[in-house]
Amino acid sequence: MLTPLAILFPDLRPEIFSIDIGGFTLALRWYALAYIAGFLLGWWIIQRLMARPALWPANTAPMAPAKVEGLLTWVIIGVILGGRLGFVLFYQAGYYLEYPSQILRVWEGGMSFHGGFAGVIVAGLLYCRRHGIPPLQLADAMALVAPIGIGLGRVANFINAELWGRPTLAPWGVIFPGPAAQNCPWDWPSAICARHPTQLYEAALEGAVLFAVLAFLVWRRGALRQPGLVTGAFVAGYGLARFTVEFWRQADAQFITPDNPLGHVLALGPLGVSMGQVLSLPMIVIGLVLIWRARQATRPT
Kindly state whether residue 278 falls inside one of the protein's structural domains.
yes
* Predicted pLDDT of residue 165: 92
Check the CA dihedral 89-77-209-133 and report its sign.
Answer: positive
* Predicted pLDDT of residue 255: 52
Distance, CA of 14 to CA of 160 (rounded, Å): 5
> Which pLDDT tens digit goes with each residue over 55-104?
999 999 999 999 999 998 999 899 888 888 888 887 777 777 787 877 77
Kindly state whether residue 173 falls inside one of the protein's structural domains.
yes
Asked if 203 and 250 count as a contact pair (C-beta separation under 8 A), the reply is no
* Predicted pLDDT of residue 207: 97
Asked if 263 and 249 count as a contact pair (C-beta separation under 8 A), the reply is no
Q: What is the mean pLDDT of each run of 10 residues along the chain (301 residues)?
A: 74 82 74 89 96 96 93 90 83 77 68 82 93 95 95 93 89 89 73 90 97 97 96 97 91 55 50 75 95 87 55
pTM value is 0.84
Asked if 277 and 246 count as a contact pair (C-beta separation under 8 A), the reply is yes
Kindly state whether residue 267 falls inside one of the protein's structural domains.
yes
Strands 24-29 and 15-21: antiparallel
Kindly state whether residue 229 falls inside one of the protein's structural domains.
yes
* Predicted pLDDT of residue 256: 53
Residues comprising the binding site? 154
Distance, CA of 207 to CA of 158 (rounded, Å): 14
Instruction: Identify residue 164 by its one-letter amino acid code.
Output: W
Kindly state whether residue 285 falls inside one of the protein's structural domains.
yes
Asked if 281 and 243 count as a contact pair (C-beta separation under 8 A), the reply is yes
Kindly give the interhelix angle for 113-131 and 135-159, rounded to the nearest 10 degrees. Answer: 150
Kindly state whether residue 208 falls inside one of the protein's structural domains.
yes
Q: Domain range for residue 254?
A: 7-31+163-297
Kindly state whether residue 135 falls inside one of the protein's structural domains.
no
Distance, CA of 209 to CA of 207 (rounded, Å): 6
* Predicted pLDDT of residue 179: 82
Read out DSSP for 6-29? Answer: PEEPPS--SEEEEEEETTEEEEEE
Asked if 176 and 195 count as a contact pair (C-beta separation under 8 A), the reply is yes
- Count of domains in the chain? 1
Biggest CA–CA distance in the chain, Å, is 70
Residues ≥6 apart with Cβ < 8 Å to 236 = 283, 284, 286, 287, 288, 290, 291
* Predicted pLDDT of residue 267: 46
Kindly state whether residue 139 falls inside one of the protein's structural domains.
no
Angle subtended at Cα 276 by Cα 148 and Cα 253, rounded to the nearest 5 degrees: 110
